[in-house]
A and B are shown apart, each in its own frame.
Chain A
Amino acid sequence: MESINFQNFRIDAENICVDYNGKVALYDANLRLKPGQICGLVGMNGAGKTTFFNALTGFVNISKGKIRINGESVRSAQKDQTIAYVPQNEGIDSQFPISVWDVVMMGRYGSMNIFRSPRESDVQAVKDAIERVDLSDHLSTPIGNLSGGQRKRTFLARAIAQRASILLLDEPFSGVDIRTEKLISELFIQFKNEGKTILLSTHDMIHVREFCDLVLLINKTVVAYGETSEVFTPENITTTFGGISPDFLFGPES
């Protein structure tokens, strides 16, 4: 196991801008996260959450600014399998003819040979990962036959099998059952203790309070960023959501 220096930044994004064919999706965004930190990414639809993820994984190029992952470029982070991306359930083709085992094995592809033939260690990593998300009974189940929660856990297992030190999770709690939600929150605590860095987007304000040390409120750019207790205020949330009052967002009981 590599030793983790908890003082160095895992993610260091500085004034990043992303535009698609001249249309600005994100501008002057900053984010710094250390090992063991969990940060919530909160914003409206179209506020640039997915774009932020895409920039960090290198799926889109940034037009301005700088991204350092563990002090190195996004390209070398890709080579080192540093970042794992857990898509939202809507982001994948659930009818694709592929089993739980094969999806999780895809977490190992980056470190395999060109034919992607699994070594003993890959098989073990996949087995362990599937066990951690409690899907050992579903090794050969096609993902189309899984519930939303089980499918979410499959992709979490893929991230675990990848042995990434940074996890990006797109709406990890949307459309999942109570059991999966509980399992994910337990995993978060384990990940934190292992020194992994987590950035998760969510619509659910309660989850932010519950899990996130830090929160990043965005609306095309950073509205507010800092410790959840300080930054996650009704005023900031209202600004983030373009003037909609937090009472409406939180529901009447809060």
Chain B
Amino acid sequence: MELCSFLTLDSFISDPLTHDFMRKALLMSSLVAAVCGFLSSYLTLKGWALMGDAVSHSVMPGVVVAYALGLPFSLGAFIFGVGSVALIGFIKQKSRVKEDTVIGLVFTGFFALGIVLVSKIKSNIDLHSILFGSPLGISLSDVKQTIFISLLVVILLSIFRKDLMLYCFDPRHAKTVGINVFFLHYLLLTCLSLAAVVGLQSVGIILVVAMLITPGATAYLLTDKFDNMTVISILSAIISSLIGIYVSFWFDLETGGSIVLAQTFIFLFAFLFAPRYGIFKLKKLFAGYK
């Protein structure tokens, strides 16, 4: 029994649960995944992948400054996340430089500032956990912040679910019927910043953009209904997180990287075998055998 316990599926799943840090990691990562997955539908349809990358990298100096000042790191991250977006908008409007160039320029600038700050401010900041995430070593105060921010984002997205869908689909119609498009634009950006903040704990700053776009992209290949897309996106994000954490536990792999890799594999699976939009179009294959 003891000898073969590693091999059974039951112990594969239940053994890690005996550890307190694993239970916490699994719960927190699932929550974070759900939030990012929810938002992911909107970001992929709006075409904001690059924006997601920009915001998530730009929070770096905010995290460092907040740690140095003893403030909640989410506060610093949020300020710099929103600040980067405002700066991108400002430079784009006031110069002739193209938008994707401005985005790349601003977020790398912010990110570099963060790295320089880390080297200057001699504190107990763990650069590795900021860059690559540390779901297994999440602290109690981080847990509280994460739960609070996650609930906030989920509530905002739930209330404005349909308006945001309309905003992504046809902002001109939204404006024409008196819906506040300006508000929706900044609401989505705010949610993006907040999701990046919680997401970076799971997978780190460098990979958090994957949490924000891959689940949505996967879901987009699997359905033609927006509501289903949201559900699939959330589920695939949660499943990836669970898979990633378990795999990293048993095989001693980097957790953040494992979570994102799991997402990538699920995407590839959808890319190949999605019933309608996969390259092998499973539906047609089966239909051919009938």
Is B177 an interface position by the 8 A CB rule? yes
Contacts of A144 in B (CB 8 A): 224
Query: Chain A 48-86, CB within 8 Å of chain B: the 1/0 string?
Result: 000000100111000000000000000100111101110
Inter-subunit contact B173/A158 (CB<8 Å): yes
Complex CA gap A58/B179 in Å reads 11
Inter-subunit contact B175/A58 (CB<8 Å): yes
Is A242 an interface position by the 8 A CB rule? no
Query: Chain A 79-115, CB within 8 Å of chain B: the 1/0 string?
Result: 1110111010001110011110010001101100011
Contacts of A85 in B (CB 8 A): 172-173, 176
Contacts of A192 in B (CB 8 A): none
Q: A57-B172, A93-B169, A115-B159 are in contact. Are A109 and B177 (CB under 8 A)?
A: yes
Contacts of A121 in B (CB 8 A): none
Is B93 an interface position by the 8 A CB rule? yes
Complex CA gap A162/B173 in Å reads 11
Q: A58-B176, A110-B177 are in contact. Are A21 and B224 (CB under 8 A)?
A: no
**Most A CB within 10 A of own CB, among B172, B226, B228:** B172
A169 vs chain B, min Cβ distance (A): 13
Contacts of B176 in A (CB 8 A): 57-59, 78, 83-85
- Chain B residue nearest to A111 (CB atoms) is B177
Is A145 an interface position by the 8 A CB rule? yes
Contact of B177 among A91, A97, A99, A162 (CB under 8 A): A162
Q: A109-B179, A110-B178 are in contact. Are A142 and B172 (CB under 8 A)?
A: no
Contact of A114 among B159, B177, B178, B229 (CB under 8 A): B159
Inter-subunit contact B177/A81 (CB<8 Å): yes
**Most B CB within 10 A of own CB, among A79, A80, A109:** A109
Is B267 an interface position by the 8 A CB rule? no
Is B162 an interface position by the 8 A CB rule? yes
Inter-subunit contact B45/A109 (CB<8 Å): no
Residues of B within 8 A of A (CB): 45, 93, 159, 162-163, 165-166, 168-170, 172-179, 220, 223-226, 228-229
18 A-B residue pairings within 8 Å (CB atoms): A58-B176, A75-B178, A78-B176, A84-B176, A85-B176, A87-B172, A91-B172, A92-B170, A96-B168, A96-B169, A97-B45, A97-B228, A97-B229, A106-B166, A109-B166, A109-B174, A110-B179, A116-B163
List the 10 shortest-distance A-B pairs measured between CB atoms, nearest first: A110-B177, A142-B224, A78-B178, A116-B162, A57-B176, A79-B178, A97-B224, A85-B176, A97-B226, A59-B175
